[in-house]
Amino acid sequence: MNIFSLIFTEGLYRPLLNLLIGSTNILPGHSVGWAIVFVTIIVRLILLPSFLHQASTMRKNQEKMAKIQHKIDDLKKAHKDNKAKQAEETMKIYKEAGINPAGGLLPIFLQLPVLIALYQVFFSGLTPDTYHYLYSFVTHPTNLSFMFFTIDLGAPSFLLGVIAGIFQFIQMRYLSPQPQSSPGANEETAKMMASMQKNMMYIFPAMTIFIALRLPAALALYWTISTLFGIIQQIIVKRSLKLEANPPNI
């Protein structure tokens, strides 16, 4: 095992696995479904400061962009036939104004390993093959209940898959930020980006449903709860910060 695998396993996968199984052990009826709901919410709360940082960065960039928009417009007119020069000068204006177009991306990259580890925990964590990862104070689970209301979380669920897809569509349709073209991009590029986002608005939810129909419903439950949490926090943050564009997804 290399150093990166070791850090991922011991720093993310193992703690999350123990949290899931530990939660299952203490919940009434040893419900796997409620344990997934609990762990998903805990993880989303842990990632909340990163989300708030992204939203705050977006708001600050919006305020700065409003102040320099006239410079950008003048620049486009002055170099309308030279896109390379237009992009170069635009980046200079951004730098002078203290705007970093990629400033909100670092938190997203920091979140990805957590989400990947969580996905693996829900996909394969509740089998005896993983029990050797349990800490000494976490009891090996017995009599686990994979029934969540009337849904068997150990088998694919069309209902949960559809619900997860609907929530993802709502998040992308009404809460996702509008596509931002790169400095110097022409109208055709902007239209292409807008068209791609519109297509993804339907493709991603459809893919979610398609994948959910082939994997245990435990994963569809995780997607559903995580997306619902994301929708709620985006609405709250958008209203509290009064963002013109919608806050970023996580």
- C-alpha–C-alpha distance, residues 51 and 47, integer Å: 7
pTM, 2 dp: 0.75
In contact, 47 and 114? CB cutoff 8 Å: yes
Considering the chain, what is the average pLDDT of its residues? 80
Q: Is residue 103 part of a domain?
A: yes
CA distance 215 to 232: 26
Residue 250 lies in a domain: no
What's the pLDDT band for 74 if we cut at 50, 70, 90? confident
Whether residue 247 lies inside any domain: the answer is no
Whether 35 shows a pLDDT value over 90: the answer reads yes
The answer to whether residue 152 sits within a structural domain is: yes
3-state secondary structure of 181: coil
Does 38 score more than 80 pLDDT? yes
Q: Considering the domain boundaries, does residue 49 fall inside one?
A: yes
pLDDT tens column, 86-118? 778 888 887 887 776 665 555 556 667 887 888
Residue 128 lies in a domain: yes
Radius of gyration of the chain from Cα atoms? 22
- Evaluate whether residue 112 is within a structural domain: yes
Task: Tell me what the mean pLDDT of segment 134-144 comes to.
Answer: 89
For range 56-74, the mean pLDDT: 79
Other residues' Cβ atoms within 10 Å of the Cβ of residue 35: 26
Q: Is residue 246 part of a domain?
A: no
Amino acid 107: pLDDT: 56
Q: Give the HSE-up count for residue 65: Cα atoms under 13 Å, Cβ half-sphere.
A: 14
pLDDT level of residue 184 (50, 70, 90 thresholds): very low
In the chain, how many domains are there? 1
Domain residues for 19? Answer: 3-241
Question: For 11-20, 78-87, 213-222, which range has the lowest pLDDT when averaged over its residues?
Answer: 78-87
